[in-house]
Amino acid sequence: MSKDRDMSQALLDQVNQALRLGTALRIQGGNSKAMLGRPVTGELVDTRNHRGIVSYDPTELVITARAGTPLLEIEAVLHEAGQMLPCEPPHLGVEATLGGAVAAGLSGPRRPWAGAVRDYVLGTRVITGHGKLLRFGGEVMKNVAGYDVSRLMAGSFGCLGLLTEVSLKVLPQPRQCLSLCLPMGRQQALAALAEWGQQPLPISAACHDGEALYLRLEGGEGSVQSARQRLGGDELDSGFWHDLREQRLAFFDDPAPLWRLSVPIASGALNLPGRQLIDWGGAQRWLKSSASAQSLRAAVAQVGGHVTGYAPGEDSSAPLPAALLRYHRALKQQLDPQGIFNPGRLYPDL
């Protein structure tokens, strides 16, 4: 905790200087999500010195920490109190920070059952494109005063302002956790997941690698045990889910480009060139493929989904319909009129 520092004034000064000089800023925490979006040219804003947990009261189910706080530190403190971040944000690097996790908006295997990062964001402090340090939301579960600027920040990749502090809702760890491996084909797995999804089963993660369906059960002793008996299969080391979240399964070693497909949960099997790993109970598909972004996007759009490339460049962010892009630009223009925050990270001119 000796490394805790409030550097918000220094960050504010840096933003105000950039506004005066018209300098673009490249916001960076642990630089663990650099494979997403487009490369940004600009003066570095390093958030890692602005770190530390500001407040945490387990009985309030809220933790507030500075943006540069390592995710590892936050998870360790929560773990000690028997709690967790239910959205399991991927680290993708040991230096991953809270600010980066919220700005990237990525969620782990529990996503379809527990919600995304944005669902747990209760409040933020943000340095805006007008050079002000402002507070939105707060530390209470329910708050509908004003526009929900805090949740807008989640997944905005720093393009709308510099996050300096985040309050997140946290939850108790489940009383029991048990993972299973059930050998079966892809079609059969997707059909089973669609059926189980309509029943009150304690499933909290579901992945299929082409050979077997991997399930995580979480809940009370009674529900986990009865589901385990009903579903059968072999027990699996729960470390599997960590490796899936951190892209450390053997699947990710394939040298072909990595794509993330976000599709409606009951989409069924997708016939695409390359190797696939099904995550989020069917709603997220990892694809290793040398096919063009354009061809993948066209195929995935057919089922109502979209494709993100996990390599920096033009093909990373899925394109937006023209009307929606216009409102993205209008919002950027209003919140960051000089365009200093991570210009072009998500889309050109944004």
Partner 1 sequence: MNILYDERVDGALPAVDLPALLQALHQALPDLAILHRAEDLKPYECDGLSAYRTVPLLVVLPERLEQVQTLLQLCHQRGVPVVARGAGTGLSGGALPLAKGILLVMARFNRILEINAQGRFARVQPGVRNLAISQAAAPHGLYYAPDPSSQIACTIGGNVAENAGGVHCLKYGLTVHNLLKVEMLTVEGERLTLGSDALDSPGFDLLALFTGSEGMLGIITEVTVKLLPKPQVARVLLASFDCVEDAGRAVAEIIAAGIIPGGLEMMDNLAIRAAEDFIHAGYPVDAAAILLCELDGVEADVHDDCQRVAAVLTQAGAREVRLACDEAERARFWAGRKNAFPAVGRISPDYYCMDGTIPRRELPRVLKGISELSEQYGLRVANVFHAGDGNMHPLILFDANRPGELERAEAIGGKILELCVAVGGSITGEHGVGREKINQMCTQFNRDEITLFHAVKAAFDPQGLLNPGKNIPTLHRCAEFGALHVHHGQLPFPELERF
103 binds partner 1 (CB under 8 A): no
DSSP 195-244: HHTTTT--EEEEEE-SSEEEEEEEE-HHHHHHHHHHH--EEE-THHHHHH
262 pairs with which residues across the strands?
284, 306
CA atoms within 13 A on the CB side of 284: 21
Pick the binder of partner 1 from 33, 66, 151, 288 (CB under 8 A). 151
For partner 1, the closer of residues 87 and 96 by Cβ is 87
Does residue 20 sit in helix, strand or coil? Answer: helix
For partner 1, the closer of residues 195 and 234 by Cβ is 195
> Residue 121 CB, nearest distance to partner 1 (Å)?
9
**Residue among 92, 142, 149, 144 at smallest CA distance from 125:** 149
Stretch that binds partner 1, among 42-50, 60-68, 208-216, 250-258 (CB under 8 A): 60-68
Beta-carbon contacts of 346 under 8 Å, excluding residues fewer than 6 positions away, are 37, 38, 156, 157, 159, 317
Pick the binder of partner 1 from 3, 17, 79, 172 (CB under 8 A). 172
Pick the binder of partner 1 from 143, 184, 242, 257 (CB under 8 A). 143
For partner 1, the closer of residues 68 and 112 by Cβ is 112
Interacting residues with partner 1 between 29 and 48 (CB under 8 A)? none
**Residue among 314, 305, 215, 210 at smallest CA distance from 257:** 314
> Residue 133 CB, nearest distance to partner 1 (Å)?
9
**Alpha carbons 140 and 129: distance in angstroms, whole number:** 26
Stretch that binds partner 1, among 7-15, 87-95, 127-135, 231-239 (CB under 8 A): 127-135
Q: Which two tokens stand for residue 78?
A: 């929560």
313 binds partner 1 (CB under 8 A): no
Q: One-letter amino acid identity for 117?
A: V
Q: If you ran DSSP here, which 8-state letter would residue 109 be given?
A: T
> Residue 228 CB, nearest distance to partner 1 (Å)?
12
Stretch that binds partner 1, among 41-49, 54-62, 67-75, 93-101 (CB under 8 A): 54-62
> Residue 22 CB, nearest distance to partner 1 (Å)?
20
8 binds partner 1 (CB under 8 A): no
Stretch that binds partner 1, among 24-32, 67-75, 236-244, 311-319 (CB under 8 A): 311-319
